[in-house]
Chains A and B, each alone.
Chain A
């Protein structure tokens, strides 16, 4: 198969040869055809490194914390440094502690959640169902409040929870079992999906999480399982169960007639000593759909309209296909009832294909887009061996975080738009409690969520069941990266309560933090200040970023000249926010609008490649 040439050197050689050969044939050159746009030759060079030169790596602790949390923060680094004698010992202690989230005091985050005044997050499925039926079509805001509050609470936890690894993994599993949160029927029932199906199993057992997500109303609506009955199974859930939740497309063999007799399809002996196929085919999807008929939500259909506990999972024997089924070469005897389904989940959870697919995704999330398969396979083997253990996932995560690839690598991934926002808010010590908004004023929550949506990654907003992409290719698209670069500096300009109203404090007090870091006015030099913020946001002072931002901030002043960050000619009792206008003669740029300029400079740091790398 022909493919695009692989290297610049190869293409250049071809071009030279081509020019030489055809120069004699076509002495005149049509300018229109002679060359591509200057600097752009049509196809990207694959030869650029994914990772920067090792000499420009940030310190190990910064790298590890950046990739295992929602972004580096100096507060995390202080805590990390107290954990042991050297980085390796500290990392061991940090991972151990993070894998036991209950032992971590999270009272500050809990207090912020309590202060947000959420009302729907603790409701049972029955209560949420009743609320949805009560509001009907009369009030969209109230109807969708459960998903809106889940979204805000998730952001608060990602920014403020000390249980960062737990939140990172919760986010991973939400992408894995991706449910579009704003489904008109499922959105009002969303909180138990997050609270009961995902979060209890974040570090736990995959098999348990798999069934819990299946039984949750949000997933039932997402993939239509609630309406899959004997005689007319709906294959939507069964297909995504295999393709996205367990075996993965990497183990899909397509449409094969008589798959049980096809020698080209490999098999293995499973945990019960039975022959199982390593790859699934379409027949397996159809049969799995029959296996799960009768798994539904109480009162979600005509047949279940009078059943108890509306909104909760319900197995209805009368709607289950009682016939013989055959999945992945294994027989399901007639009359298996609900055990058909639990047996299917066992088969899929213990399948080596599932282990490889899930382990591969975990490695890509923590390490990079191109992880050696040896590491993926080792993680997969562990996932497979421990499939019945209650801390199966914690063991696999620990294995990946202690791997040589994790500890020595850097920069082969970038922060996605949502992750870059959370990371920026963490690094700059923002004071922001997002809450669902139904007011006429333009609130920072409303603005932030709108801008995240524009950048392509509002939480729980991916419409398809495959979850947000997790590759640098996707998030470095001009559209996503452009809107991310637009969003990040704006975080420093947004105000509490009303995002465009100067009467309220900023979400991030750049000025105040700078003044407290340098209480002596003589220390407030451009060099000191940009150095401080580089350390705080990036964990080191990389070039050219440090120099570019420093030069912008100091303007014509020396890097050692103090800059006035206090005097504000326009505050009028409002929070100081711009500085002094200095564009009239003598037109001293270094004195012009210093307070606003500081925010712009820090915004530039947030727009640097070093901030977006992970």
Chain B
């Protein structure tokens, strides 16, 4: 592994600007709300967003002894996951739910106590329920149940979560465009691919600094082009140049003894090469590398799309199985990520990493006549980590009989997604400010998924209530 240049990080962190007082690159970032919890940990929270509404009843179908199996089989024919024969569901300990057969990686993690599921989970806000992908996604990511504030819930967590001053890279949104959950955060960088994210296209002769000859290359001079707080655009440009500089010393390519000896070598034989959705595997690999490098990652968002299976969803008895291919990407990718970090040279890093897999809503119980499923409501949340009480299925399932369905069509929601995330924020991240992170949320109680200490939930802004500012 390549040596890591701390000085370059500090350069990226604008320490020089501090040394120079309010000097050339002083920034107009706003001061944070200051009540920082002393309980803050250095864990990492990874949010995987399954965009397009994943069919939870296919990922986690009722098993053989499940009271819901008969209703499930009535509603699902072309999209059914069978219990025997080709493509049979995988049985799970401690539950009557079963797992999609292509989720073998998740299955192993669950059986080992490193994965858990929450059934009938989702958004209880807003009411009425929305079935628009885009609105439901942004509701979940803004965490305010409708009406985007331009500030994502992860941003509010980071602001209120007690982040120390010396963290080079607190958050990453893996994609070309920032996930809404990290919108408004100056702690987050956005990048689609680690190895691609660098300025290297000027003609080589004038690109890099060359101190021996006195050359100050174009890449260094970009700072001077964007050195003002004139508008939001300049601010974004400075943020971008800082992020590029921060990651420039890292070789994100995969290790190759001949062609890339400084590249990244996953530990424990972790295989991130996915047959489908290859970019998802690469992004997980980049995140694992950044965690191992100790950049201080606290929050990460990664997307896996293509779940909107209105037509031809497939089932595991077929040779062409769209949904199964998707599940395999998810399962193999997360399994590689877990293996890689759990077997890191510096120890089991998964003990400090939690993964929560969410989707904007579930799919309708009754499949449609195109071999697909339409937009539904309640869904499955998957949780992974080295410090969770795994090997269990959490949540109360309302049932699949028609009189048990939400509005007669859908799996209901009995567990608010904010409850699951809040537990991770308190028990793993040490941030009790969950009512600040999720405005409007109340009545939190842990389900017991995560290991860690409970803290009384607070709202963070409470202390500033009337009278304080006037003083």
Determine whether the beta carbon of B159 is less than 8 Å from that of A42: yes
**Cα-based distance from A234 to B372 in the complex (angstroms):** 10
Q: Which residues of A contact B216 (CB under 8 A)?
A: 552
Tell me the minimal C-beta distance from B458 to chain A in angstroms: 11
Pick from A40, A464, A481, A493: contact of B201, CB under 8 Å: A493
> Is the C-beta of B215 less than 8 angstroms from some C-beta in chain A?
yes
Determine whether the beta carbon of A252 is less than 8 Å from that of B176: no
Pick from B165, B203, B224, B459: contact of A34, CB under 8 Å: B165
Q: Which residues of B contact A229 (CB under 8 A)?
A: 369
Determine whether the beta carbon of B176 is less than 8 Å from that of A613: no
> Which residue of A has the minimal Cβ distance to B147?
A1
Determine whether the beta carbon of B233 is less than 8 Å from that of A476: yes
> Is the C-beta of B407 less than 8 angstroms from some C-beta in chain A?
yes
Contact residues, B1-50 vs A (CB, 8 A): 13-15, 17-18, 25-36, 38, 40
Determine whether the beta carbon of A454 is less than 8 Å from that of B192: yes
Q: Which residues of A contact B170 (CB under 8 A)?
A: 37
> Which residue of B has the minimal Cβ distance to A553?
B206
> Which residue of B has the minimal Cβ distance to A40?
B186
Q: Which residues of A contact B197 (CB under 8 A)?
A: 479, 482-483
Q: Which residues of A contact B460 (CB under 8 A)?
A: 2
> Is the C-beta of B162 less than 8 angstroms from some C-beta in chain A?
yes
Pick from A39, A256, A472: contact of B128, CB under 8 Å: A256
> Is the C-beta of B445 less than 8 angstroms from some C-beta in chain A?
no
**Cα-based distance from A47 to B31 in the complex (angstroms):** 12
Pick from B130, B165, B176, B236: contact of A483, CB under 8 Å: B176
Contact residues, B302-322 vs A (CB, 8 A): 305-306, 310-311
> Which residue of A has the minimal Cβ distance to B17?
A39
Determine whether the beta carbon of A548 is less than 8 Å from that of B221: yes
Determine whether the beta carbon of A11 is less than 8 Å from that of B128: no
Determine whether the beta carbon of A552 is less than 8 Å from that of B218: yes
Contacts A39-B27, A40-B186, A234-B368: A30 and B38 contacting too (C-beta < 8 A)? yes
Contact residues, B56-84 vs A (CB, 8 A): none
Binds B, one of A101-109, A511-519, A591-599: A591-599
> Is the C-beta of B416 less than 8 angstroms from some C-beta in chain A?
no
Interface size on B, residues (CB 8 A): 118
Determine whether the beta carbon of A38 is less than 8 Å from that of B224: no
Q: Which residues of B contact A235 (CB under 8 A)?
A: 374-375
Pick from B34, B215, B306, B375: contact of A18, CB under 8 Å: B34
Determine whether the beta carbon of B232 is less than 8 Å from that of A50: yes
Contacts A454-B196, A479-B177: A604 and B222 contacting too (C-beta < 8 A)? yes
Pick from A32, A42, A56, A239: contact of B32, CB under 8 Å: A42
1/0 per residue, CB under 8 A from B, across A521-564: the answer is 00000000000000000000000110011001000000000000
Q: Which residues of A contact B294 (CB under 8 A)?
A: none
Contacts A33-B164, A472-B232: A456 and B31 contacting too (C-beta < 8 A)? no
Binds B, one of A92-100, A385-393, A484-492: A484-492
**Cα-based distance from A252 to B27 in the complex (angstroms):** 40
> Is the C-beta of B225 less than 8 angstroms from some C-beta in chain A?
yes
**Cα-based distance from A35 to B221 in the complex (angstroms):** 29
Determine whether the beta carbon of B163 is less than 8 Å from that of A254: no
> Is the C-beta of B105 less than 8 angstroms from some C-beta in chain A?
no
> Is the C-beta of B231 less than 8 angstroms from some C-beta in chain A?
yes
**Cα-based distance from A43 to B151 in the complex (angstroms):** 9
Binds A, one of B132-140, B262-270, B381-389: B132-140
Determine whether the beta carbon of B235 is less than 8 Å from that of A38: no
Determine whether the beta carbon of B162 is less than 8 Å from that of A479: no
Determine whether the beta carbon of B213 is less than 8 Å from that of A224: no
Determine whether the beta carbon of A478 is less than 8 Å from that of B151: no
> Is the C-beta of B149 less than 8 angstroms from some C-beta in chain A?
yes
Determine whether the beta carbon of A14 is less than 8 Å from that of B464: yes
Q: Which residues of A contact B407 (CB under 8 A)?
A: 255, 257
Determine whether the beta carbon of A469 is less than 8 Å from that of B28: no
**Cα-based distance from A239 to B308 in the complex (angstroms):** 13
> Is the C-beta of B229 less than 8 angstroms from some C-beta in chain A?
yes
Tell me the minimal C-beta distance from A505 to chain B in angstroms: 16
Residue of A43, A256, A597 with most partner-chain B CB within 10 A: A43
Determine whether the beta carbon of B225 is less than 8 Å from that of A4: no
Determine whether the beta carbon of B213 is less than 8 Å from that of A50: no
Binds A, one of B91-99, B110-118, B335-343, B434-442: B434-442
Binds A, one of B237-245, B251-259, B344-352, B394-402: B237-245
**Cα-based distance from A145 to B237 in the complex (angstroms):** 37
Tell me the minimal C-beta distance from A336 to chain B in angstroms: 23
> Which residue of B has the minimal Cβ distance to A589?
B214
Determine whether the beta carbon of A17 is less than 8 Å from that of B225: no
Contacts A38-B13, A477-B178, A480-B190: A33 and B40 contacting too (C-beta < 8 A)? yes
Residue of B159, B186, B200, B222 with most partner-chain A CB within 10 A: B186
Contacts A11-B33, A48-B231: A578 and B240 contacting too (C-beta < 8 A)? no
Tell me the minimal C-beta distance from B67 to chain A in angstroms: 27
> Is the C-beta of B457 less than 8 angstroms from some C-beta in chain A?
no
> Is the C-beta of B455 less than 8 angstroms from some C-beta in chain A?
no
> Is the C-beta of A609 less than 8 angstroms from some C-beta in chain B?
yes
Determine whether the beta carbon of A483 is less than 8 Å from that of B13: no
**Cα-based distance from A106 to B58 in the complex (angstroms):** 55
> Is the C-beta of B184 less than 8 angstroms from some C-beta in chain A?
yes
Contacts A33-B36, A252-B130: A42 and B225 contacting too (C-beta < 8 A)? no
Pick from B18, B231, B310: contact of A50, CB under 8 Å: B231
Determine whether the beta carbon of B184 is less than 8 Å from that of A12: no
1/0 per residue, CB under 8 A from B, across A592-614: the answer is 11001101100110011100110
Q: Which residues of A contact B131 (CB under 8 A)?
A: 239, 255, 282, 285
Tell me the minimal C-beta distance from A441 to chain B in angstroms: 19
Contacts A578-B205, A603-B218: A477 and B176 contacting too (C-beta < 8 A)? yes
> Is the C-beta of A583 less than 8 angstroms from some C-beta in chain B?
yes
Determine whether the beta carbon of A14 is less than 8 Å from that of B33: yes
Q: Can you offer 17 A-B residue contacts whose CB atoms are under 8 A?
A: A33-B164, A36-B165, A38-B14, A44-B186, A232-B368, A232-B370, A236-B374, A411-B233, A473-B150, A478-B239, A483-B176, A489-B218, A493-B202, A589-B213, A593-B205, A597-B206, A600-B205
Other A-B contacts than A254-B129, A481-B240, A603-B202, 9 sampled, CB-CB below 8 A, are A37-B165, A37-B168, A39-B18, A42-B155, A473-B178, A474-B177, A479-B178, A544-B224, A607-B222
Which B residues form the contact surface with A (CB < 8 A)? 13-15, 17-18, 25-36, 38, 40, 126-135, 144, 149-151, 155-156, 158-159, 162-168, 170, 173, 175-178, 183-187, 189-193, 196-203, 205-207, 213-216, 218, 221-222, 224-237, 239-240, 243-244, 305-306, 310-311, 368-370, 374-375, 407, 435-436, 439-440, 459-461, 463-464, 468-469, 471
Pairs A-B, 5 closest by C-beta atoms = A456-B176, A254-B128, A476-B236, A232-B369, A490-B201
